[in-house]
Amino acid sequence: MRGIEELDVGGHAVLLRADLNVPRDGARITDDGRIRASLPTITDLTGRGGRVIICAHLGRPSGGSYEERAAGGPSLAPVAVRLGELLGNQVRMAEDAAGKSAEAVAAGLRDGEVALLENVRFEPTETSKDDAKRSELAARLAALAQLYVGDGFGALHRKHASVYDVPGLLPHAAGKLVLAEVDVLRRLTRDPDRPYVVVLGGAKPSDKLAVIANLLDKADRLIIGGGMSYTFLAARGHEVGRSLLEADQLDRVSGLMAEAGRRGVEIVLPVDLVGATHFAADAEHEVFPVAGFPADRESMDMGPETRALFASKLADARTVFWNGPVGVFEFPAFAAGTLAVAQAISRVQGLTVVGGGDSAAAVRQLGFPEGAFGHISTGGGASLEYLEGASLPGLAALEASA
Ligand code: 3PG
Ligand code: MG
């Protein structure tokens, strides 16, 4: 895969696909990690006189037409403002994703300047499964520039026009973020130091069963916490009350636990839970052992014995991959589990990787410095699919020559 140093960008328009899909509260950006992670590639390109036209998505706009989607939002305008602050230079914002305004902004850029196109998912065909529909949009995007740089690691698992089709139309290279992320993931899949411990949290086991199946070949221990652990506990016959449960996944989860047992991979599940009366920051809550969880409570966090258990199962690790918070860390009363996992991982001697937008935002919100972990990945879905052994469409497109 070619890196950007192999592109002669001076005086040329470069279409840079970045992942600027930041968590927000209304129009306010609550974690700008993905914007910061995009800076090294942007400043490298501008420093060499490139004219950088950034293409990115935000959220999952809905609606049948461009107009409907644009009216519903979200617009990337607040991201352009934040990016400009971080760069110390104004970022011009196009009013559309690949239309007249995008053309005018791209044509007006001078060497070393940066522009941001409007949310590419306002274009309904960006995410289309129909190759011909995506191609039409890809051609409009490619016409804005002479070169393409793929640096949106978090979106590489999407077969979308701006991620998968445009690199086929322009000379292209992978940005610094993509190369750094892929390098770390390769180290996790090729001969990791042992014990290799994987911590999985987040809401749904269905999103992660494929990666778990693949990890049974590679990891020594799987710690499962948070929203997805309740389906595992239920599969072992425990009452989980009104906690998150994917009832249609119980059989698959039981099958995976049996397979883990056959292969000697240890699966670690919570032993106590923080059960709340309802989902709210100030909900009344108590700790219950998993063997005695009440039918009318909802688990929002890991209990103290689980926190100690998880920490002890991380203490001897030499390689760790963590994806997904293990409690509702956004509410301070339910952040102890995620904090305990982050602390235990930060003490590990070896390669530690925190993967995914939510876990990355969690460790920053909980006050961990960047250096507390070996690598904080900007891509949850993308890193999981890589670890699953799947081919990422955006990566395949960057690897193909053009
Ligand atoms: C992400 O946030 O996971 C990436 O930006 C991809 O977004 P998506 O999950 O909406 O495709
Ligand atoms: Mg996602």
Check whether 357 has a pLDDT greater than 80: no
Q: How confident is the model at residue 370 (pLDDT cuts 50, 70, 90)?
A: confident
Q: What's the pTM value of the predicted model, to 2 decimals?
A: 0.90
Ligand index nearest the alpha carbon of residue 202: 2
pLDDT of the residue at 359: 86
Q: What is the mean pLDDT of residues 124-133?
A: 98
Q: What is the mean pLDDT of residues 365-384?
A: 90
Check whether 343 has a pLDDT greater than 70: yes
Residue 38 CB burial class (10 angstroms; 0-12, 13-18, ≥19): buried
Which DSSP helix (H) or strand (E) runs through 289? strand 285-289
* Tokens (6 digits) for 256: 């995976």
- Buried residues in 233-242 as b, exposed as e (16+ CB within 10 A): bbbeebebbb
d(CA 320, CA 346) in angstroms, rounded, equals 10
- Cα dihedral across residues 369, 372, 375, 380: positive or negative: negative
Sequence-ordered list of residues with C-beta below 8 angstroms from that of 222, at least 6 positions apart, any chain: 197, 198, 199, 200, 212, 215, 260, 265, 266, 267, 268
Report the chain's mean pLDDT, rounded to a whole number: 96
Beta strands in 117-216 (DSSP E): 147-150, 172-174, 196-200
Sequence-ordered list of residues with C-beta below 8 angstroms from that of 400, at least 6 positions apart, any chain: 167, 168
Q: 10 Å Cβ neighbour count for 144?
A: 23
Q: What is the mean pLDDT of residues 280-295?
A: 98
Which residue type does 306 have?
T
Q: Which atom of ligand 1 is found nearest the CA of 357?
A: 2
Residues with CB under 6 Å of ligand 1 are: 19, 21, 60, 154-155, 158, 357, 380-381
Ligand index nearest the alpha carbon of residue 207: 2
d(CA 225, CA 366) in angstroms, rounded, equals 18
- Cα dihedral across residues 279, 282, 287, 292: positive or negative: negative
d(CA 229, CA 325) in angstroms, rounded, equals 11
Q: What is the mean pLDDT of residues 256-278?
A: 97
- Cα dihedral across residues 174, 388, 194, 222: positive or negative: positive
pLDDT of the residue at 241: 98
Check whether 261 has a pLDDT greater than 80: yes
d(CA 5, CA 147) in angstroms, rounded, equals 13
Expressed in angstroms and rounded, the spacing between residue 284 Cα and the centre of ligand 2 is: 31
Q: Which strand ranges, in their side-by-side order, compose the sheet holding 272-276?
A: 285-289, 272-276, 298-302
Q: Do residues 275 and 301 make contact, with C-beta atoms less than 8 angstroms apart?
A: no
Q: How confident is the model at residue 402 (pLDDT cuts 50, 70, 90)?
A: low
pLDDT of the residue at 360: 86
Best CA proximity match to 76, nearest among 97, 62, 90:
97
Q: Which atom of ligand 1 is found nearest the CA of 60?
A: 10
Q: Which residues pair with 379 in a beta bridge?
A: none
Q: How confident is the model at residue 389 (pLDDT cuts 50, 70, 90)?
A: confident
d(CA 397, CA 391) in angstroms, rounded, equals 10
Q: What is the mean pLDDT of residues 31-56?
A: 97
Ligand 1 binding pocket mutation candidate from 22, 57, 359, 395 (most atoms within 8 A of CB) = 57
Q: How confident is the model at residue 274 (pLDDT cuts 50, 70, 90)?
A: very high
Q: What is the mean pLDDT of residues 294-309?
A: 98
Strands 28-29, 24-25: pairing is: antiparallel
Ligand index nearest the alpha carbon of residue 154: 1
Which residue type does 8 have?
D
pLDDT of the residue at 334: 97
Q: What is the mean pLDDT of residues 71-75?
A: 97
State the catalytic residues.
34, 204, 357, 381
CA-nearest residue, atom 6 of ligand 1: 155
Expressed in angstroms and rounded, the spacing between residue 271 Cα and the centre of ligand 2 is: 29
Check whether 58 has a pLDDT greater than 70: yes
d(CA 23, CA 167) in angstroms, rounded, equals 27
Check whether 177 has a pLDDT greater than 90: yes
The pocket of ion ligand 2, defined by CB under 5 A, consists of 381
Q: Do residues 93 and 55 make contact, with C-beta atoms less than 8 angstroms apart?
A: no
Q: Do residues 192 and 184 make contact, with C-beta atoms less than 8 angstroms apart?
A: no
Most distant CA atoms of the chain, gap in Å: 67
> What is the DSSP code (8-state) at residue 111?
T
Check whether 133 has a pLDDT greater than 90: yes
Q: Do residues 338 and 366 make contact, with C-beta atoms less than 8 angstroms apart?
A: yes
Best CA proximity match to 375, nearest among 186, 149, 158, 175:
186
Percentage of residues of the chain with pLDDT beyond 70: 100
Q: How confident is the model at residue 113 (pLDDT cuts 50, 70, 90)?
A: very high
Check whether 365 has a pLDDT greater than 90: no
- Cα dihedral across residues 188, 214, 205, 222: positive or negative: negative
Q: What is the mean pLDDT of residues 40-49?
A: 98
Q: How confident is the model at residue 314 (pLDDT cuts 50, 70, 90)?
A: very high
pLDDT of the residue at 401: 83
